[in-house]
Amino acid sequence: MAQPAADFPPWRTVHAVFARWYQDGDVHAVHSDLRDQVRQAEGWDADPTPAIIDSQSVRAAETVDADSRGYDAGKKVASRKRHVITVARRLARPTAQHP
């Protein structure tokens, strides 16, 4: 086992303190506070917005340029991929289409 730096207490002491902080929820609280500070410093809202990302294969006609369509092996169709992000407020935001 790798030993901590010389100015650290023995590893068992460090592990015991960390385990206590983890069980008490302190590690999660520190992580959440740091994340909020970083997000605010970057100009974002402190609370992240949950979102769902989904894709859909849209069947492409033979008249569609070959460079703008691909082959979906799972569905076995020549298609274009359409991606949508749905945020918690249920507002769909189309993002991109590509083969």
Q: What is the pLDDT of residues 48-93, one digit of tens each?
A: 777 788 887 777 777 767 666 777 777 777 777 778 887 665 444 5
The Cα–Cα gap between 1 and 55 comes to: 45
Structure confidence by residue, pLDDT tens digits, 20-43 = 999 999 998 998 899 889 888 988
**What was the pLDDT predicted at 22?**
93
**Count of CB atoms situated within 10 Å of the CB of 79:** 18
46 Rama class: left (phi>0) / alpha (psi -120 to 50) / beta = alpha
Say whether pTM exceeds 0.75.
Answer: no
How many Å separate Cα 53 from the centre of its chain?
10
| CB half-sphere exposure, 69, CA atoms < 13 A | 15
